Structure 1
Amino acid sequence: MEKQELSINRSSVETPRSTSDKKTETKQQKRNFFFHILNNKVLIALILLCVFFSVTTEQFLRVDNILNIFLQSAIMGIVAIGMTYVIITAGIDLGVGSVVAVAGIIMAGMVSKGMPILLTILVGLLIGVASGAINGYFITKFNMAPFIVTLGMMAAARSITLVYSDAQTISVYGDPFLKFLRMGEVAGIPIMIIITVLMFILAHYILSNTVFGRHVYAVGSNKKAAELSGINVKRVEMMVYIIAGTMAGLGGLMMTARLGSGTPLAGTNLELMAIAAVVIGGTSLSGGRGTIFGTLIGVLLINVLNTGMNLLNISSHYQGLIMGGVIILAALIDSFSNKKSK
């Protein structure tokens, strides 16, 4: 009886301790998250860049200019979300810009023919899903290099836009739903910005708080070890490419709405800007490391830099040089970080 009572007493003492430990652990995680934010070098760079342009230009802090930066970041941000998942698994997707174009122009064609808008949106998203599934199938089934597979998708999707539209722009400027996406606001905030923010929140939650998110990091860190631990690596890789394709399909809808038309040239170089934003945001090209928050900061930094250079009337000939330097610097930092971790 004494032993039994002793065990009961111990359990009664340990239970509150374990609960307290969990609360302490949760608080510590929150502290670590905010500490990470405060020590994020890219975030500091973004703040310093905003301060610089605020001092050197009068227009930078205007509300319309700030909203314009966020609107410019919306489509790139949506595409960069999918790219983050892919790059964390040590993959790459060069086809997303062309998928944005093909999804957008087919949706524009359907709208111009009077097709129901819900069906049109569904088709656009399914085009993105299909493109991602095709990429994932060839990469996982035949162990092909993601660079080659997605490069082929980039060429094929761009060709489809030219064939479908006969290299012509399809105007849908007057469509009510697309006009709502383009001009609609909630509490003064454009609908496109709201959609983008919600997608970032959802993507962050999945990557940080789900089993799938942990598997994504595990596959990127060490594919062989992930397989040995029981993770279905091929399924994870398939899913990240489908996510990237779906985000490109959504980007196509937003691009068509913003332009008021579908154009075969939409999304040109968008994949490169998305990759740049992801890498600048701290996601490692070697896989296994990265955050959605970092990608958001990377997207904003690129668009703040572009807007600021335009306000300062810096020649476009030099803008590419400056942006290229920023991207190379980010890649260099990533390389040094990987060497330190080893």
Structure 2
Amino acid sequence: MEKRAAVDDMGQLETSTPGPRQAENAAAMSVKRVRPEGETGKILASERHRNSDPDSYKSWKRKLSFWPRKGLILFELMVVITIGVLVGQILEVSGCVKMLSWVTLPITRLGKLSRHTGPAFLMAFQSGAVANSMLVSHRDCGQISNRELYTSVYVVSALSLFAHLPTFVVPIGIAFGWEATAALFGVRFSAIAVQVVLTLLVSRQIFGRLGIGEELRGRDVITEVREHRQRKNGFWRTVWQRSKLTLRRLLFYLLPTFALMTSLEYYGGFEWLAKAMPQLFTFDFLPPQSLFVIPAQALSLYNGAIAAANFIDSGSITTQQAVIIILFGSMVTAPVRTLKHGLPTYVAVLGPRAGTFMAVSAQVLRMLFLLICTCALMVYWF
């Protein structure tokens, strides 16, 4: 069956008959924006338009030229990190940690983590950067150990995905139907839940029992010193005294890392990587249309979903096949975007070596558990 897919790239690219060779040629091209051609694709396009407010702050920021926009993003990131550190210490000094820790008791008990990690898990649903900043401030003050810090960062990385599930699931569900919605939500939720549980169990049963990462605790002595300072200096002075050393170190690492990532983006490093990744990870068991959908998804989820919708409307693939392609596309394309936007925060919070390792390993774990749950869905469907 003949299929036409139009793509904006300094003109218009049209392909017909979505066989393997044509799909490979389309994937190798610079995919910019896929145009909806059928009813399903137009529904997705309308959802994208409805969810993007032309008068919003984000829309205004996107209209700025490259360097002013990046300068504004750096300022926002510095504010977010500062808020994270200060909020963590405000909760600790005010005594709110004990109250909030009851909400996250199942997580902290399962991983044998300190109650000080609990508020960060709640904050993860809003901002992973703020949550990680809270955690590192607690580690610097001796309230949690290195094992608890790194375990909690992995958990925050997984929990923060819940904030993006509505963006990922609802528009595709509206266009593809509720079976697709249930499948997408079920796979993503299962992957997150399994990742969190296994991370906590491995940390407790292996690293915790072996005492790995526990050597920096020293909590009793440091707590005694803090209480003395709090009585002497007052509430806000105590918060600032606890926070300033952490803030100085975070910003020291953030600035050069952000500059490096921005330079790579400016000179096309991430654009090249986004195009190269789908070519490095080809899946022979997927329909040949995936060779076009996944590169289109490298630009945005909506772009890949509209490309898949065009093939659904033409009868080239089924809705179930489109869902599987989109899930595999997320494994390939999402790590590039996370590396681009998240690495400066990881390095700022944890330092160059640990931050880079945690940023990369967190993505590997996400891909692994998403792969397992997607394969389970394929077994159920096919």
Normalised TM-score (structure 1)? 0.28
Structure with higher RCO (Cα < 8 A, 6+ apart): 1
